[in-house]
Structure 1
Amino acid sequence: MASDSDESFGADSDYKRPQTPTRRPPARTAKQKQPVRWTRASACNYHESSDDELDGSATGADSAAADQARSLDARSLKRKRVTSNNQDVRRSKRTLRSAGSPRTPPAHNRNTSVKKRTPTSNRPVRTVAVRPQSLCSLAGDWATLPYLVWRTIFDEIASPLRQLSAREDEGAQNEARHTLLSSARSSKILAEPALTALYQTPPLSLGVESALRLLRTLRAPPESTLFNYRPKVEGLRIEVDEILNRKKIGTYLSLNELVQYMPRLKHIDLYTALDAKPWRQLDQSVRWKYSPELFNALQSIPPMGNPDLKDEGLTFLPLESWSWSSRLIPQTWSKDMIREIHSTASFQSLRKITFINFQLPSVTSKEADPLVIAAMDEPHIRQVTSSILQLPKLEHLVLEASTVANGSLLEQLPRNLKHFELINCWDVEAEHMVDFLRDRGHSLKTIVLNHCQSLSLQFLPILASACPNLEEIHVNTKYFRHHEFYNDDQPFWDVFLEPDQIPTWPTKLRCIDMQHLQFSDHRAARNFCKSLESSAERLLDLRSLAIDIKLKCDLDRRTKLRNYWTPRLQAIFKRPVVVPTSMTVALAKQFEKQAVIEPGRRKSSKACSTPMRRSIRLAEIVSSPDVTQDEASGTSGREVSRRSQVRKEARRLGNESYDADGESDDELSNEVNADPKKNTPVQRLCNVVEIQLDNSRVVEEKFGMEHFFDGSGSESEEEDPDWDGQDLEFD
């Protein structure tokens, strides 16, 4: 079996397993000495299992040993026994030994010199056939599961390889690759579904070496491989700097040739590490560029990816997704080159298009006149919009780290978009989003707005009316610095959300994920939470709710809002954990057994009544739909005392004024005095409910303990040689 560090794509890769010594070498078998006494046990141990027996089961070895023992039984009985009674007893015990027991070496005379054998690596190792009962196997009849069931399981395991987050999270990518390879090597039943999931988007984590190995595997004739790997590849994600810009054995990877062996390729993602977070190297260029040969290869694919069938006619690849990076575009290209490529047959079937690092010329210009700037930028915006309009089946548009994404571009986008993403586009404002959603938001199902420095949440009041079919909304207002040594990651908007701007939520929402919401007014934050509460009965499809609010106000108000709205939203949306009645009775009996008083101890009324009260309380908790299992088990005495102190403090401060302008805080006091879990609307269908409200600062990177280790970042004795591994205070 190959090691985990080996990058392999299946049983037919270039990796050669070391040849193990044969189980039955003829030369050594002829020289083997027969046992002094032939018994059933010695005959069985003298028999050596072959490779076929090990690959199958031990049934053949057992039957052969039994036949040989029966044939030699008469011969063993005719031998003369010149021994004492004690020796006869010991010999009879050896004769009755089970046939599967290990062989006992013959006893040598002490005066006889025995030549010791020195172990060598080339010497074959004698093994005993293993019985099927001792093999480790999975519970149940898993070998009879259909192929599609295993495909579904392995597709879930391989999901990190297909997501865009695999660019950054190499740990999840390597773990998925290791799991799929181990499963494929463990059983012939799992080999094809595991390799199919692996090859669907092959991981090229080792750079050009793994890409060349993939090319050699696909280049091999399908008749010489275990499976036909060519039609299994559907996605290709290539890091340009590590794969296409580097040589291996004096050669570069030919992307044009690699594409020829992928007849079912649908997704191509050519990217660089410079285009990832924190997007501070947008001006740096790379050597590899798009070539006309690549796009010609996409239009001339041989049937079934077999170059020998070129005479039968060439076809094109119907791509479904493609990503453009401005740093990979040659300077010799004309302005309309992207639009001409989009008009080809391979790009007419595109459903997703990504534009990365497309900047307007006014970014580097020193012109201050708005009219001159608009005249300078308008041709570039028109080029991008015309290339987008050339795609009739486009449904998913992604604009990343591009100043070309502004209000003028949003007004010219197609109306049939279903998924729209803006990532680190700092020229898009809330007014632009309002106009875009009112005009082109009726068909949208997913909206992703991450790290847009000028975009606030003032478009939320028209969200329900403008986007009635919206199913997912993702917002992340954490911003990144444009320069490494300047603190220029502050938001460009003035007000994040006005107190009188009440958000509205579409009824088809399935996921609400909003992180790092930077509220500066507690009334706007309270109205935001109230909007979720008032819409709870209509959000019947909602299954995931994650809200992270960063509230900049005084400690008392923030504490009151957190103590009231966090448990209230949990009680409204969190799906309760229903424990079966049989399990409830079993837990109650277990508590009663644990509470039984030991003999000799003094019985008290408190001890005798404890088991009954605990079992009754457990049954009430489980049977009550208003209290979840987590909430019931999470309330401690310290929490109860803390809540009572908060209520007393709220009563004391209920009639006082907090603001300098004389504003009263009676509403907050009423919220704290009231029980947050009473009079709540019932939704309770969300599997994920994460509510966080604090005043932590939104920074680009948070430092933890792993950032303050000396050396490699692991706690070992080499980093602190004076420590003997014991902590007297802790122990």
Structure 2
Amino acid sequence: MAADLSRKRKRAHVSYREPSSDDDFSNSDIDNPAPRKRPVRRSTRHQSHEVEPQPEPSTSQPPRTHAASPTLARSAAQRIRRRSGKRTISYREETTDEDSEEDGEADYEPEEVVAQRKPRSKPASRPPTPRKQPENGSRRTVGPRKRAFGAPLKEKKAPQPVAVHIPTDGHKPDMSSLPYHVLLQIFVYASHPLRDENMHPTPSIAWLIKMAQMCQAFTKPALTALYRNPPIFAIRQNRKKLVHHLITPPAGARQDYQVMVKRLELDATQMSALTDSTSSVADLSSLISSLTTLKEIDIFDPLDRPPYRERLKRMRRWTYPPELFETLRQTELRLRSWRWHSAYCVEGLTWIKDIHTDQAFQHLRDVTFVKFNFDEKRKDDATDPTKEELLASAVASLPKLQSLAFESCTAVNGKLLSLLPSTLLSLSITHCIYLTSEAMHAFLSDHGQHLEELVLNHNQSLDLSFLTSLKQDCPRLEVLEMDLNYYSTLAMSSDNEPLYDWLLGLDEVPTWPTTLRIINMEHLRNWGADSATNFFTSLIDSATELPYLRELRILAMVDMDWRQRADFRRKWAARFEKVFARRDPAPNPHLASLRAYREWKASDQETADRNDSLLDLTAEDVQKGIPDREVIADSHLETDSDSDVPLLAKRRNERWNPKRLRSRAKASTNYDETSENENEEADADTQHTEDTEADDEEPTVVQGRCHTVMCRIDNLRPREEMFHEADFLDEERSGDEEWDEDRDDVEEGYAW
């Protein structure tokens, strides 16, 4: 009975749990149950799918008197695995943050087991690389990463320039011996611009610093090109150092940096952090007071450009500090350029007029007004002056004003234009919705006698009717620019259509001043073929009266059938090219260097001598034994000899050429006199017809002085951002693994 009970105690209980690698050989717990401990439980996710065979428990095995620890079980499993020589393969997935949180209790192991566990060694050829777990807890996909649909394409690398070998004598010119003003122009031209439109620095800044450190002769012109318009907001990390360097130059500095600065471009959205939030106003005042040769100050908003929309994110509003104008009063600065922004003005237009009376603003020549709008709530019977009158009075308080610009101002209308001074040389009106052709015509007829530059861009209500009297109203006009591309108020709206019915009437013919140098008119639309013909004809007919015209750009959309538009485009593009394009001979490619020119002249002289010697060949020389190949090589030379010997010698060694039939057909002689006469008469009639048609199409006058002539006629709908073929090409893989792009005999491009 006792033996039966002991035999029952040795019988193992049945478990349906899938065994792990740690429990394969831990049978001692079944034979001799030890005091209960918390078992090492592993999640099925961390268990191996390949389990080694487990030996069956034998009843004849003597019972063990000690409890098996997890360390002994692991060592036994390692010994069996070492003997078998096989490595257990695990197909479990990688854990994530969510899995570890859900299975936190199941993955618990005692500290002594974790401490004694040794990391699995890896081959020496593949060093361990740390794997970064995703932060959002998502599973990592296996396989090559592919670009998501709709993701931005990689930036296409610019093509590398092809090096051209130019033979030289090896003499390097001494650039340091050039005068200062010549070096300054070289550095300014080579380094422009120092920043892009997003206030990001360009490599020109580092290049100028490198040139300044190259030699002593380059130091001053390179630093002058850098500090003439210092990129304060383009370099964010060293902004504070740059500002303090301009305010208080070092004691041992050889150059006076304070007299190099001529212009300041300041981003108003970052003005509160000019150096730091506590002393930005003080640093701005100190900066302006220390620059003794400052002439232009431009405080702008980066969003004051196309598409002219308000920013969605609220930012700290910056305003003109009173310390700024107090500093300008105390200095001897005489500004020539300034920008007024209505969002930065705490006071009204009356305060701006008072500022204009200061000595620092009395010499202003260029003023820009941004976002000055009229009062919509104002009643017509009000006695107070209107916004247009206040703005015109502020402009009139500048006695030396020459250039005036309005941007995104609804206050620009016929009333404001009639109050502007008549001494303006340049007028620029951009994105002003209430500017009409009638108001423009009235202004030019009264105030356009001295106008030399007229820029009218993105004005949604302005058509071309005022051009009919442009020659009479603006006799000194040199630059005429108009961009008729408009922008929507919101990104998701579509209110960018013109607010006029016709761009140009059927009976309206433009006139052009004789002093014009640049005509740039883009996105002309809302007109028909007759109006476009009148516009183009007026330019062709005025070619003799435009001797100073050097640049002509016309981009027009004409509403007609595509076949007719193709003929229309071909006709007028060819006429503009014939009438205005400049036809200078191409530069001599052998003038790249003195050595290249000498070698070219020497080779040219040798060719001339050889040609002169070959011209002395006669039939007797050929019969005396001159090789036929020499005659064949120079058969292109024309001789006056009637002998057939050279011709026969050439034909003996003549090889088969597909062009022989064509040449013989042309050279064949027709001995039929009747057919020859008839062919001559038919050719004469055809030539006369072609000459007559050519005379009709050939322009009577050719100006021929424009270095830029572009006439594009299509029916594209203008958009805020135009995409071209290059915008859809990148250097990513096409996804075809069989395509071998490393082959040398395959051209660059796509597989298909």
TM-score range, shorter chain: 0.5 to 0.7
1:177 aligns to 2:210 (yes or no): no
SS in structure 2 at match of 1:506: coil
**Contact between 1:183 and 1:190, CA under 8 Å: does it hold in 2?**
yes
Seen in structure 2, the aligned counterparts of structure 1 residues 559 and 137 have a Cα distance that, compared at 3 Å, is same
Seen in structure 2, the aligned counterparts of structure 1 residues 324 and 144 have a Cα distance that, compared at 3 Å, is same
Q: Provide the residue aligned with 1:142 in structure 2.
A: 175
CA distance in 2, matches of 1:406, 1:342: 23
With the length of structure 2 as denominator, give the TM-score of the two structures.
Answer: 0.60
For residue 454 of structure 1, report the CA deviation from its aligned partner.
0.5
Seen in structure 2, the aligned counterparts of structure 1 residues 170 and 257 have a Cα distance that, compared at 3 Å, is closer
**Contact between 1:565 and 1:676, CA under 8 Å: does it hold in 2?**
no
CA distance in 2, matches of 1:145, 1:291: 45
2:321 alignment partner, one of 291, 296, 307: 291
Q: Provide the residue aligned with 2:197 in structure 1.
A: 168
For residue 167 of structure 1, report the CA deviation from its aligned partner.
6.2
Seen in structure 2, the aligned counterparts of structure 1 residues 433 and 227 have a Cα distance that, compared at 3 Å, is same
CA distance in 2, matches of 1:676, 1:140: 55
SS in structure 2 at match of 1:537: helix
For residue 546 of structure 1, report the CA deviation from its aligned partner.
1.3
CA distance in 2, matches of 1:335, 1:442: 28
Seen in structure 2, the aligned counterparts of structure 1 residues 298 and 719 have a Cα distance that, compared at 3 Å, is farther
1:336 aligns to 2:350 (yes or no): yes
Moved more, 564-573 or 577-586: 577-586
Q: Provide the residue aligned with 1:567 in structure 2.
A: 574
Seen in structure 2, the aligned counterparts of structure 1 residues 247 and 147 have a Cα distance that, compared at 3 Å, is closer
Gaps of 5+ in 1: 1-135, 302-315, 366-370, 613-669
For residue 263 of structure 1, report the CA deviation from its aligned partner.
0.8
For residue 181 of structure 1, report the CA deviation from its aligned partner.
2.8
Q: Provide the residue aligned with 2:397 in structure 1.
A: 390
For residue 299 of structure 1, report the CA deviation from its aligned partner.
1.2
SS in structure 2 at match of 1:421: strand
Q: Provide the residue aligned with 1:258 in structure 2.
A: 287
**Contact between 1:573 and 1:685, CA under 8 Å: does it hold in 2?**
yes
CA distance in 2, matches of 1:496, 1:221: 57
Moved more, 561-570 or 393-402: 561-570
Q: Provide the residue aligned with 1:156 in structure 2.
A: 189
SS in structure 1 at match of 2:330: coil
Superposed CA deviations along residues 145-167 of structure 1, whole A, max 9, x for unmatched, are 11111122223335535xxxx66
Q: Provide the residue aligned with 1:405 in structure 2.
A: 412
CA distance in 2, matches of 1:347, 1:611: 76
Q: Provide the residue aligned with 2:341 in structure 1.
A: 325
SS in structure 1 at match of 2:303: helix
CA distance in 2, matches of 1:357, 1:672: 59
Q: Provide the residue aligned with 1:698 in structure 2.
A: 718
Q: Provide the residue aligned with 1:225 in structure 2.
A: 253
1:213 aligns to 2:241 (yes or no): yes
Seen in structure 2, the aligned counterparts of structure 1 residues 193 and 560 have a Cα distance that, compared at 3 Å, is same
Q: Provide the residue aligned with 2:699 in structure 1.
A: 679
Seen in structure 2, the aligned counterparts of structure 1 residues 327 and 231 have a Cα distance that, compared at 3 Å, is same
Q: Provide the residue aligned with 1:241 in structure 2.
A: 269
1:488 alignment partner, one of 476, 495, 506: 495
CA distance in 2, matches of 1:474, 1:147: 36
1:201 aligns to 2:229 (yes or no): yes
SS in structure 1 at match of 2:455: strand
Seen in structure 2, the aligned counterparts of structure 1 residues 582 and 236 have a Cα distance that, compared at 3 Å, is closer
Superposed CA deviations along residues 550-588 of structure 1, whole A, max 9, x for unmatched, are 212112321222111112211211211225799799799
**Contact between 1:208 and 1:243, CA under 8 Å: does it hold in 2?**
no
Seen in structure 2, the aligned counterparts of structure 1 residues 718 and 557 have a Cα distance that, compared at 3 Å, is closer
Moved more, 349-358 or 189-198: 189-198
Q: What is the number of equivalent residue pairs in this alignment?
A: 503
Identity %: 32
**Contact between 2:299 and 2:339, CA under 8 Å: does it hold in 1?**
yes
**Contact between 2:232 and 2:243, CA under 8 Å: does it hold in 1?**
no
SS in structure 1 at match of 2:711: strand
SS in structure 2 at match of 1:459: helix
Partner letter of residue 345 of structure 1? Q
SS in structure 2 at match of 1:269: strand
Partner letter of residue 177 of structure 2? T
1:269 aligns to 2:283 (yes or no): no
CA distance in 2, matches of 1:543, 1:377: 49
SS in structure 2 at match of 1:560: helix
**Contact between 2:261 and 2:294, CA under 8 Å: does it hold in 1?**
yes
Q: Provide the residue aligned with 2:157 in structure 1.
A: none
Seen in structure 2, the aligned counterparts of structure 1 residues 528 and 415 have a Cα distance that, compared at 3 Å, is same
**Contact between 1:394 and 1:417, CA under 8 Å: does it hold in 2?**
yes
For residue 228 of structure 1, report the CA deviation from its aligned partner.
0.4
Moved more, 208-217 or 260-269: 208-217
For residue 374 of structure 1, report the CA deviation from its aligned partner.
8.4
1:281 aligns to 2:295 (yes or no): no
**Contact between 1:275 and 1:282, CA under 8 Å: does it hold in 2?**
no
Q: Provide the residue aligned with 1:358 in structure 2.
A: 372
Partner letter of residue 713 of structure 2? L
CA distance in 1, matches of 2:233, 2:735: 30
SS in structure 2 at match of 1:299: helix
**Aligned CA-pair RMSD:** 3.9
Partner letter of residue 141 of structure 1? D
Task: Please identify which structure carries the higher helix content.
Answer: 1
SS in structure 2 at match of 1:361: coil
CA distance in 1, matches of 2:317, 2:276: 17
**Contact between 1:522 and 1:557, CA under 8 Å: does it hold in 2?**
no
For residue 226 of structure 1, report the CA deviation from its aligned partner.
2.5
Q: Provide the residue aligned with 1:648 in structure 2.
A: none
CA distance in 1, matches of 2:499, 2:410: 15
Seen in structure 2, the aligned counterparts of structure 1 residues 251 and 348 have a Cα distance that, compared at 3 Å, is closer
CA distance in 2, matches of 1:611, 1:489: 67
**Contact between 2:455 and 2:482, CA under 8 Å: does it hold in 1?**
yes
CA distance in 1, matches of 2:391, 2:181: 42
**Contact between 2:463 and 2:500, CA under 8 Å: does it hold in 1?**
yes
CA distance in 1, matches of 2:737, 2:340: 52
Q: Provide the residue aligned with 2:441 in structure 1.
A: 434
Superposed CA deviations along residues 309-345 of structure 1, whole A, max 9, x for unmatched, are xxxxxxx310001001111112xx2551111111111
Seen in structure 2, the aligned counterparts of structure 1 residues 190 and 520 have a Cα distance that, compared at 3 Å, is same
**Contact between 2:233 and 2:267, CA under 8 Å: does it hold in 1?**
no
Superposed CA deviations along residues 661-696 of structure 1, whole A, max 9, x for unmatched, are xxxxxxxxx999657873341221112222212222
SS in structure 2 at match of 1:465: helix
Q: Provide the residue aligned with 1:190 in structure 2.
A: 218
**Contact between 2:193 and 2:202, CA under 8 Å: does it hold in 1?**
no
Superposed CA deviations along residues 438-464 of structure 1, whole A, max 9, x for unmatched, are 000000010000111111111111111
Partner letter of residue 200 of structure 1? R
Gaps of 5+ in 2: 1-168, 592-596, 612-626, 639-689
For residue 358 of structure 1, report the CA deviation from its aligned partner.
1.1
For residue 705 of structure 1, report the CA deviation from its aligned partner.
5.5
CA distance in 2, matches of 1:439, 1:448: 18
CA distance in 2, matches of 1:463, 1:501: 12
Seen in structure 2, the aligned counterparts of structure 1 residues 525 and 334 have a Cα distance that, compared at 3 Å, is closer
**Contact between 2:249 and 2:257, CA under 8 Å: does it hold in 1?**
no
SS in structure 2 at match of 1:319: coil
For residue 373 of structure 1, report the CA deviation from its aligned partner.
6.1
1:688 aligns to 2:708 (yes or no): yes
SS in structure 1 at match of 2:405: strand
Q: Provide the residue aligned with 2:81 in structure 1.
A: none
Partner letter of residue 392 of structure 2? T
Seen in structure 2, the aligned counterparts of structure 1 residues 374 and 566 have a Cα distance that, compared at 3 Å, is farther
